[in-house]
Amino acid sequence: MLYGSIEAGGTKFVCAIGDEEMTIKERVSFPTTTPEETMPLVIGFFKQYQADLAGIGIGSFGPIDIHRDSATYGYITSTPKLAWQNFDFIGTMKKEFPIPISWTTDVNAAAYGEYVFGSGKGLSSVVYYTIGTGVGGGALQEGRFIEGFSHPEMGHMLVVPHPKDDFAGSCPFHGNCLEGMAAGPAIEKRLGKKGQEVAEDDSYWEIEASYIAQCAYNTTLMFSPDVIIFGGGVMKQRHMLQNVHDAFAKLVNGYVETPELSKYIVTPALEDNAGTLGCLALAREAVLHS
């Protein structure tokens, strides 16, 4: 029996096949252009395995419709990527693959990967953020995603500007929300170069860390989770973690006693595999419960 994984991101679709042991057998990636161009490539990839394919897990960029009783369940909804607005993702896949398909956000899928196999393994409450082209967050309690009328949009929480930061923020909706202040494009707008080109000893990283610390602070007070995991391209600046811990401790100011910070505010154990492994595990769950 095989499982399929689709990590549908804003720049690329990463598709993978895994076996019962959740070992990745093959992984490919296709550029995210239009559904007309991208989906035939995705479908073609999984068709090679159709005889043994038991289920598929999809983690998609959003916003997406996650309500099973909604007429547009399985759709990408009001995304700024116009070609993908109101795209019936599950319907398109189900037509070709009439098997169980699990459906959640890209960040929830990565959160699930870390929960099952990574930094959240064995814990009951896990919050995961990605700080990359955008900022997204997902929260899990006893293996279930926390959601209500929709999935969380924690990346757009409000943050207090750092005193040395006069950047107005780059979020088209909120200006200086967390994503507007701390995502990769915000770094590039401020400094005129990409995050990966900014030196480790640049004083900017203290400002970046202050926003991530505020995110951890808000998350702690809202959920008191067992662990908060920060992944995504910007977190490749691993040295920031110490700054995040220090700034977080100052903000909390002794109000709550959290787990030891080196185990509480961490980076993903699975690195870039969190999303793929999460989708595979969600595909396995969908088959188990079908």
Measured from the CB of residue 69, what is the shortest distance to ligand ADP in angstroms? Answer: 30
- Tell me if 233 contacts ligand ADP by CB under 6 A: yes
In this structure, the chain runs to a length of 290
The answer to whether 11 contacts ligand ADP (rule: CB under 6 A) is: yes
Give which of 269, 287, 231, 274 is closest to 7, Cα–Cα: 274
Q: Within 122-141, which residues bind ligand ADP (CB under 6 A)?
A: 130, 132-133
- From the CB of 230, what's the least distance to Zn ion, in Å? 18
Decide if 136 contacts 105 (C-beta within 8 A): yes
Q: Which of 12, 27, 94, 156 binds Zn ion (CB under 5 A)?
A: 156
Is residue 250 close enough to count as binding ligand ADP by CB under 6 A? no
| Least CB distance to ligand ADP at residue 16 (A) | 16
Residue 210 found at the interface with ligand ADP (CB under 6 A): no
> CA 104, CA 117: separation in Å to the nearest integer?
18
Q: Is residue 204 close enough to count as binding ligand ADP by CB under 6 A?
A: no
Site membership for ligand ADP, residue 234 (CB under 6 A):
yes
The one among 196, 242, 262, 290 contacting ligand ADP by CB under 6 A? 196
Q: Should residue 194 be labelled a site residue for ligand ADP when binding is judged by CB under 6 A?
A: yes
Q: Is 185 in the site for ligand ADP (CB under 6 A)?
A: yes
What does 250 interact with, of Zn ion, ligand ADP, none (CB < 5 to 8 A by kind)?
Answer: none
Per-residue contact string for residues 104-123; x = within reach of ligand ADP by CB under 6 A: --------------------
Provide the minimum distance between the beta carbon of 153 and ligand ADP in the complex, in angstroms, as a whole number: 15
Q: What is the 3-state secondary structure (H, E, C) of the chain?
A: CEEEEEEECCCEEEEEEECCCCCEEEEEEEECCCHHHHHHHHHHHHHCCHHHEEEEEEEECCCECCCCCCCCCCEECCCCCHHHCCEEHHHHHHHHCCCCEEEEEHHHHHHHHHHHHCCCCCCCEEEEEEECCCEEEEEEECCEECCCCCCCCHHHCECCCCCCCCCCCCECCCECEHHHHHCHHHHHHHHCCCHHHCCCCCCHHHHHHHHHHHHHHHHHHHHCCCEEEEECHHHHCCCHHHHHHHHHHHHHCCCCCCCCHHHHEECCCCHHHHHHHHHHHHHHHHHHCC
180 binds ligand ADP, rule: CB under 6 A: no
Contacts with ligand ADP by CB under 6 A: the residue count is: 16
- Of the pair 120, 275, the CB lying nearest ligand ADP is at 275
Q: Under the rule (CB under 6 A), what is the footprint of ligand ADP?
A: 9-11, 130, 132-133, 184-185, 194-196, 232-234, 236-237
Q: Under the rule (CB under 5 A), what is the footprint of Zn ion?
A: 156, 171, 173-174, 177, 179
